[in-house]
Amino acid sequence: MADWTPEQPLVSVRDVHKSFGELEVLKGVSLDVMKGEVICIIGPSGSGKSTLIRCINALNDIQKGSILVEGQEVHDPDLDKLELRKKVGMVFQQYNLFPHKTALENIMMAPLKVLKEPKSEVEKRARSLLAKVRLDGKEDSYPGELSGGQQQRVAIARSLAMQPDVMLFDEVTAALDPETVKEVLVTIKDLAQDGMTCILVTHEMGFAREVADHIYFTDRGVIVEHGPPATFFDDAKDPRTKEFLSQIL
Amino acid sequence: MLDLFREFFIQLAEDQPRWNFIFFYDARQWARVVEGLYYTLLLSVACVIFSVVIGIVGAWAQGSPSRLLRSIVQGYIQFFRNTPPFVQLLFFYFALGQFTPTYSPDGWLQVPIISNVGWAIISLSFFAGAFNVEIFRAGIEAVPESTREASESLGFSRLQTYTEVVLPLAFRVSLPALNNNLVNLVKTTTQAFAIAVPELLYQSVTIWNDFPSAQYPTMLMLFCVYIGLVGILVLGMHRWEKAMQIPGYGARA
């Protein structure tokens, strides 16, 4: 693990198989993400997109294959999960903020309790992160007092406060009103432009085309086709990809 | 003023022989009421505290990976929830009381180390605690799995997730049901009467056994005292619920 260098993929997924009981959700998925890259995973619902990124930060286990994050095997039983979660930030569809804490406290909690960093430093960082997601002034609001889009941006700031090396976004705009989707997408785009490595599961095709370096299309547990956005959207080869794109675009 | 008050009740007892409010003008009967109130308060406060502790620990044990621990908690709940508290009290005091060691303060008497008051507190706390376990468990189950996942993915350990996220949220959900159970508990302390704990009902019965003319007034006094006691408890719990309310979450006004 110590021999990982930035020239190697930051996240490397190799032949991953995952079943829930009888149901095989991932049937041999492989992909690589380099540092600073933004990749989007798209595909019909039930194709295993969310499961795949949940496996990357060990929220789900896998039956076969390997997932390396900075050269460290995620599904090693002896893995220090804390070490992994310091590197991998995750944002969920349902925001999942802690409802009993204010926006600022939500962001500060993990750095204080998990990383045991000094409070003044954490607070400074939390405030600047709130400003970065354009929510300065909402420090003392509780999640219940914020709109969905605002909550999701707090959730992004909360993950960033752990200073991860890669961010996972699991359909983060799927639960939002159309008019608030944009504010969250702008936040993610800012992040991507700052050089954050991002893996997104999304249904926002326009957005994927704009920010992604690479698009992966999954269907029924396998990656059917992948490529840079221009090739992928305008020159899809596989009939399944073509069919999916014709329904969406 | 106080004299006028006493005069009035002495006169009332003479005019209406069934309405002898004897404890309002006889100092010895008043002392009985005060002593009774003391023991009722003692039982109530001790049982509320112990039963809540039992509830929290039990709910935690119910989520334990150990099957043995879970079955023990389940057995405990089934026993104490499905049998009458009155019988539990008698059984604890008379049956289990047989086996408790004794000590001798003066060389003559043998006194059990757990008094009847002690047994009442133990028995009633376990009784109410069984309900509290279920109440807290419901609260814990109301915290969405996804909230726990978010906490885990931020690097919190299982214990940290429990103390920082799950418990604070579960507690808020549990408060209204807990409130109900504690109200019942305070009223159930009257059953300690059966093992001669000198609480308010016990004292009241001795008063009306000595003075049958005071029976109805003493019952009235009992009602008033319990309305007051439970009222204070409920008011306190409501204040607490309000203070813990999270803007935009849970019960909305």
* CA distance linking residue A107 with residue A119, whole number of Å: 12
Is some CB atom of chain B closer than 8 A to the CB atom of A115?
Answer: yes
Kindly report, residue by residue over A76-106, the tens digit of the pLDDT: 888 888 889 999 999 999 999 999 999 999 9
The pLDDT value recorded for residue B253 is: 39
Predicted confidence band at B12 (pLDDT cuts at 50, 70, 90)?
very high
The pLDDT value recorded for residue B250 is: 59
**Residue A171 DSSP one-character state:** S
Of all helices (H) and strands (E), which one includes residue B5?
Answer: helix B2-15
Q: Does the beta-carbon distance from A143 to B172 stay under 8 Å?
A: no
In this structure, the number of other CB atoms found within 10 A of the CB of residue A141 comes to 18
Q: Does the beta-carbon distance from B144 to A96 stay under 8 Å?
A: yes
Instruction: Give the closest-approach CA distance of B213 to chain A in angstroms.
Output: 57
Enumerate domains of chain A plus CATH numbers. 11-248 (3.40.50.300)
Beta pairing, strands A222-227 & A214-219: antiparallel
Fill in the amino acid letter for B190: T
Closest residue on chain B to A158 (Cα): B154
**pLDDT of B111 above 90:** no
| B181-189 mean pLDDT | 95
Q: Does the beta-carbon distance from A142 to B153 stay under 8 Å?
A: no
The pLDDT value recorded for residue A249 is: 66
pTM of the model: 0.81
Of all helices (H) and strands (E), which one includes residue B228?
Answer: helix B215-244
Beta pairing, strands A23-33 & A11-20: antiparallel
Q: Does the beta-carbon distance from B169 to A99 stay under 8 Å?
A: yes
| Contacts by A122-126, CB closer than 8 A, 24 or more apart | A122/A161, A125/A161, A126/A157, A126/A161
* CA distance linking residue A172 with residue B125, whole number of Å: 47
Q: Does the beta-carbon distance from B154 to A144 stay under 8 Å?
A: no
Higher local confidence (pLDDT), B191 or B103: B191
**Which chain B positions have a beta carbon within 8 Å of A143's beta carbon?**
248-249
**pLDDT of B252 above 60:** no
Judged by phi (left if over 0) then psi (alpha if -120 to 50, else beta), residue A41 lies in: beta
* CA distance linking residue B231 with residue B237, whole number of Å: 10
> Among A94, A113, A142, whose Cβ lies nearest the Cβ of B156?
A113
**pLDDT of B251 above 60:** no
Return the closest-CA partner of residue A70 out of A147, A142, A164, A149: A164
Superfamily grouping for domain B41-244: MetI-like (1.10.3720.10)
> Among B156, B247, B248, whose Cβ lies nearest the Cβ of A110?
B156
Kindly report, residue by residue over A107-156, the tens digit of the pLDDT: 999 999 999 999 999 999 999 999 999 999 999 999 999 999 999 999 99
Is some CB atom of chain B closer than 8 A to the CB atom of A82?
Answer: yes
Kindly report, residue by residue over B16-67, the tens digit of the pLDDT: 989 999 999 999 999 999 999 999 999 999 999 999 999 989 998 888 889 9
3-state secondary structure of B96: helix
Is some CB atom of chain B closer than 8 A to the CB atom of A162?
Answer: yes
Mean pLDDT value across chain A: 91
Kindly report, residue by residue over B141-151, the tens digit of the pLDDT: 999 999 999 99
**Which chain A positions have a beta carbon within 8 Å of B172's beta carbon?**
100
CA distances for B109 relative to A121, B40, B101, B105, B120, angstroms: 67, 27, 13, 7, 22
Fill in the amino acid letter for B51: S
> Among B144, B153, B156, whose Cβ lies nearest the Cβ of A90?
B153
Percent of chain A whose predicted confidence (pLDDT) is above 70: 99
Domain boundaries, chain B: 41-244
| A219-240 mean pLDDT | 90
The pLDDT value recorded for residue A90 is: 95
Predicted confidence band at A70 (pLDDT cuts at 50, 70, 90)?
very high
* CA distance linking residue B121 with residue B117, whole number of Å: 6
